[in-house]
Protein backbone atom coordinates (compact mmCIF):
# COMPACT_ATOMS: atom_id res chain seq x y z
CA UNK A 1 0.00 0.00 0.00
CA UNK A 2 0.85 3.68 0.04
CA UNK A 3 2.06 5.43 3.18
CA UNK A 4 4.28 8.21 4.46
CA UNK A 5 6.37 8.20 7.62
CA UNK A 6 7.89 11.41 8.93
CA UNK A 7 9.95 12.20 11.97
CA UNK A 8 8.04 12.93 15.10
CA UNK A 9 8.18 16.28 16.72
CA UNK A 10 8.04 18.65 18.18
CA UNK A 11 11.23 20.18 16.89
CA UNK A 12 12.60 23.33 18.53
CA UNK A 13 15.44 25.27 16.92
CA UNK A 14 17.14 28.58 17.44
CA UNK A 15 16.89 31.18 14.72
CA UNK A 16 19.44 30.63 11.90
CA UNK A 17 19.88 26.94 12.77
CA UNK A 18 19.85 24.22 10.10
CA UNK A 19 16.61 22.28 9.70
CA UNK A 20 16.08 18.69 8.59
CA UNK A 21 12.73 16.91 8.78
CA UNK A 22 12.92 13.31 7.66
CA UNK A 23 10.29 11.72 5.44
CA UNK A 24 10.21 8.24 3.96
CA UNK A 25 7.51 6.67 1.87
CA UNK A 26 6.08 3.39 0.67
CA UNK A 27 4.36 3.34 -2.68
CA UNK A 28 3.79 1.24 -5.72
CA UNK A 29 5.11 2.68 -8.94
CA UNK A 30 6.45 6.22 -9.09
CA UNK A 31 4.62 8.61 -6.79
CA UNK A 32 4.77 12.39 -6.70
CA UNK A 33 6.03 13.78 -3.40
CA UNK A 34 5.05 16.93 -1.56
CA UNK A 35 5.73 19.05 1.49
CA UNK A 36 2.84 21.09 2.86
CA UNK A 37 3.00 23.67 5.66
CA UNK A 38 0.25 24.55 8.14
CA UNK A 39 0.38 27.73 10.19
CA UNK A 40 -1.66 27.86 13.41
CA UNK A 41 -5.40 27.80 12.84
CA UNK A 42 -5.09 27.63 9.05
CA UNK A 43 -5.34 25.11 6.25
CA UNK A 44 -2.39 23.48 4.53
CA UNK A 45 -0.35 25.26 1.87
CA UNK A 46 1.87 23.59 -0.68
CA UNK A 47 5.50 24.31 0.12
CA UNK A 48 7.25 22.30 -2.58
CA UNK A 49 6.92 19.19 -4.70
CA UNK A 50 8.87 16.73 -6.86
CA UNK A 51 7.36 14.45 -9.44
CA UNK A 52 10.19 12.10 -10.40
CA UNK A 53 13.33 10.57 -9.01
CA UNK A 54 16.26 12.95 -8.39
CA UNK A 55 14.04 16.02 -8.78
CA UNK A 56 14.66 18.74 -6.23
CA UNK A 57 11.74 20.84 -5.08
CA UNK A 58 12.51 24.24 -3.59
CA UNK A 59 10.64 27.25 -2.25
CA UNK A 60 11.27 30.01 0.30
CA UNK A 61 14.70 28.57 1.14
CA UNK A 62 13.34 25.07 1.76
CA UNK A 63 14.55 22.14 -0.35
CA UNK A 64 13.79 18.44 -0.69
CA UNK A 65 15.21 15.86 -3.10
CA UNK A 66 13.24 12.85 -4.34
CA UNK A 67 15.48 9.85 -3.56
CA UNK A 68 14.07 6.68 -5.06
CA UNK A 69 16.90 4.47 -3.83
CA UNK A 70 16.20 5.36 -0.20
CA UNK A 71 12.46 6.14 -0.71
CA UNK A 72 12.97 9.47 1.02
CA UNK A 73 12.04 13.13 0.62
CA UNK A 74 13.70 14.94 3.52
CA UNK A 75 12.96 18.63 4.01
CA UNK A 76 15.91 20.98 4.65
CA UNK A 77 16.50 24.66 5.23
CA UNK A 78 19.87 26.20 5.86
CA UNK A 79 18.80 28.98 8.21
CA UNK A 80 15.37 28.97 9.84
CA UNK A 81 13.48 32.05 10.94
CA UNK A 82 10.86 32.57 13.63
CA UNK A 83 8.27 32.89 10.85
CA UNK A 84 8.98 29.27 9.81
CA UNK A 85 7.29 28.03 12.99
CA UNK A 86 4.49 25.77 11.73
CA UNK A 87 3.53 22.14 11.21
CA UNK A 88 5.07 20.45 8.18
CA UNK A 89 3.41 17.54 6.39
CA UNK A 90 5.03 15.17 3.94
CA UNK A 91 2.65 13.66 1.39
CA UNK A 92 2.56 11.46 -1.66
CA UNK A 93 0.23 11.01 -4.59
CA UNK A 94 0.40 7.56 -6.10
CA UNK A 95 1.18 7.12 -9.77
CA UNK A 96 -2.27 5.67 -10.28
CA UNK A 97 -5.34 7.10 -8.63
CA UNK A 98 -6.03 10.57 -7.26
CA UNK A 99 -5.73 10.13 -3.52
CA UNK A 100 -3.08 11.85 -1.44
CA UNK A 101 -1.44 10.17 1.57
CA UNK A 102 -0.20 12.42 4.36
CA UNK A 103 2.30 11.90 7.15
CA UNK A 104 1.37 12.76 10.72
CA UNK A 105 3.04 16.16 10.60
CA UNK A 106 6.07 17.60 12.39
CA UNK A 107 5.68 20.68 14.54
CA UNK A 108 8.55 23.17 14.28
CA UNK A 109 9.10 26.02 16.70
CA UNK A 110 11.88 28.52 16.02
CA UNK A 111 12.98 30.65 18.96
CA UNK A 112 14.75 33.99 18.62
CA UNK B 1 -9.22 35.39 -6.52
CA UNK B 2 -9.46 31.64 -6.96
CA UNK B 3 -9.58 29.47 -3.92
CA UNK B 4 -11.50 27.42 -1.42
CA UNK B 5 -13.73 28.85 1.26
CA UNK B 6 -15.00 27.05 4.32
CA UNK B 7 -17.62 28.35 6.69
CA UNK B 8 -18.04 28.90 9.49
CA UNK B 9 -14.53 29.16 10.93
CA UNK B 10 -15.75 28.10 14.38
CA UNK B 11 -18.82 25.99 15.07
CA UNK B 12 -20.33 24.85 18.31
CA UNK B 13 -22.82 22.03 18.54
CA UNK B 14 -24.78 20.41 21.29
CA UNK B 15 -24.64 16.66 21.59
CA UNK B 16 -27.29 14.95 19.51
CA UNK B 17 -27.47 17.67 16.85
CA UNK B 18 -26.52 17.37 13.21
CA UNK B 19 -24.40 20.15 11.76
CA UNK B 20 -23.33 20.97 8.20
CA UNK B 21 -19.94 22.40 7.25
CA UNK B 22 -19.72 24.36 4.02
CA UNK B 23 -16.98 24.04 1.40
CA UNK B 24 -16.98 26.04 -1.84
CA UNK B 25 -14.32 26.27 -4.55
CA UNK B 26 -13.99 28.41 -7.67
CA UNK B 27 -10.96 26.62 -9.07
CA UNK B 28 -13.04 24.51 -11.47
CA UNK B 29 -11.67 21.31 -9.96
CA UNK B 30 -13.57 18.05 -10.33
CA UNK B 31 -12.15 16.33 -7.24
CA UNK B 32 -12.88 17.45 -3.69
CA UNK B 33 -11.98 15.97 -0.30
CA UNK B 34 -12.87 16.23 3.39
CA UNK B 35 -10.27 15.54 6.07
CA UNK B 36 -10.40 15.48 9.84
CA UNK B 37 -7.43 16.67 11.89
CA UNK B 38 -7.05 15.96 15.60
CA UNK B 39 -4.33 17.47 17.82
CA UNK B 40 -0.96 15.87 17.17
CA UNK B 41 -2.35 13.67 14.42
CA UNK B 42 -2.20 13.80 10.69
CA UNK B 43 -5.05 14.17 8.24
CA UNK B 44 -7.62 11.43 8.06
CA UNK B 45 -9.80 11.15 4.97
CA UNK B 46 -13.56 11.26 5.59
CA UNK B 47 -15.10 11.42 2.10
CA UNK B 48 -14.05 12.36 -1.38
CA UNK B 49 -15.73 13.12 -4.67
CA UNK B 50 -14.16 12.80 -8.09
CA UNK B 51 -17.11 14.23 -10.00
CA UNK B 52 -20.54 15.78 -9.49
CA UNK B 53 -23.20 13.42 -8.10
CA UNK B 54 -20.60 10.86 -7.05
CA UNK B 55 -18.65 10.43 -3.83
CA UNK B 56 -16.74 7.71 -1.98
CA UNK B 57 -16.13 6.87 1.67
CA UNK B 58 -12.70 7.48 3.05
CA UNK B 59 -11.07 5.89 6.06
CA UNK B 60 -13.35 7.36 8.74
CA UNK B 61 -16.74 7.94 7.06
CA UNK B 62 -18.91 6.59 9.89
CA UNK B 63 -21.08 9.32 11.38
CA UNK B 64 -20.58 11.68 8.42
CA UNK B 65 -22.47 12.31 5.18
CA UNK B 66 -21.81 14.43 2.09
CA UNK B 67 -23.45 15.56 -1.12
CA UNK B 68 -22.05 16.80 -4.41
CA UNK B 69 -24.87 18.42 -6.37
CA UNK B 70 -22.68 21.14 -7.86
CA UNK B 71 -19.07 21.14 -8.98
CA UNK B 72 -18.30 24.11 -6.74
CA UNK B 73 -19.78 22.77 -3.53
CA UNK B 74 -19.08 19.76 -1.28
CA UNK B 75 -20.83 20.16 2.11
CA UNK B 76 -20.12 17.80 4.99
CA UNK B 77 -22.76 16.88 7.57
CA UNK B 78 -21.60 15.67 10.95
CA UNK B 79 -24.42 13.56 12.31
CA UNK B 80 -25.33 12.65 15.86
CA UNK B 81 -23.96 9.19 15.12
CA UNK B 82 -20.41 10.56 15.14
CA UNK B 83 -19.26 9.75 18.66
CA UNK B 84 -16.37 12.17 18.94
CA UNK B 85 -16.89 15.02 16.46
CA UNK B 86 -14.77 17.71 18.12
CA UNK B 87 -11.95 18.32 15.63
CA UNK B 88 -10.58 20.59 12.92
CA UNK B 89 -12.13 19.86 9.51
CA UNK B 90 -10.32 20.62 6.28
CA UNK B 91 -11.75 20.67 2.78
CA UNK B 92 -9.54 20.37 -0.30
CA UNK B 93 -9.91 20.37 -4.04
CA UNK B 94 -7.47 18.83 -6.45
CA UNK B 95 -5.99 19.64 -9.81
CA UNK B 96 -4.03 16.91 -11.58
CA UNK B 97 -1.12 16.88 -9.16
CA UNK B 98 -1.82 19.24 -6.27
CA UNK B 99 -4.35 19.54 -3.48
CA UNK B 100 -5.52 23.00 -2.45
CA UNK B 101 -6.88 23.45 1.05
CA UNK B 102 -9.46 25.71 2.60
CA UNK B 103 -8.83 27.52 5.92
CA UNK B 104 -10.67 24.89 7.95
CA UNK B 105 -13.61 24.76 10.36
CA UNK B 106 -13.09 24.04 14.05
CA UNK B 107 -16.05 22.11 15.41
CA UNK B 108 -16.60 21.85 19.15
CA UNK B 109 -19.29 19.72 20.72
CA UNK B 110 -20.55 21.14 23.99
B43 and A CB contact within 8 Å: yes
Q: Would the CB atoms of A99 and B45 count as touching at under 8 Å?
A: yes
B63 and A CB contact within 8 Å: no
Q: Would the CB atoms of B90 and A98 count as touching at under 8 Å?
A: no
Q: How far apart are CA A87 and CA B88, in angstroms?
A: 14
pLDDT tens-digit map of B61-78: 999 999 999 999 999 999
pLDDT tens-digit map of A49-80: 999 999 999 999 999 999 999 999 999 999 99
pLDDT (0 to 100) of residue B1: 62
Kindly give, in sequence order, each residue whose CB lies less than 8 Å from that of residue B6, ignoring residues fewer than 6 positions away.
Answer: A43, B21, B22, B23, B24, B89, B90, B91, B102, B103, B104, B105
Candidates B21, B25, B37, partner chain A, best to mutate (most A CBs within 10 A): B37
Q: Which residues of B touch A98 (CB under 8 A)?
A: 31, 48, 50, 94
Torsion of CA B78, B84, B90, B96, to 10 degrees: -80
Amino acid sequence: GNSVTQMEGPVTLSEEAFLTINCTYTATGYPSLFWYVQYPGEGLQLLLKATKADDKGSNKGFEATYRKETTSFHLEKGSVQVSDSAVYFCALKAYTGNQFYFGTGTSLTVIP
Amino acid sequence: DGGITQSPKYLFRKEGQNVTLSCEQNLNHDAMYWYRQDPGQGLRLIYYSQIVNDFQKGDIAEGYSVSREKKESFPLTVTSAQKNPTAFYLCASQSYNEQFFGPGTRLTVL
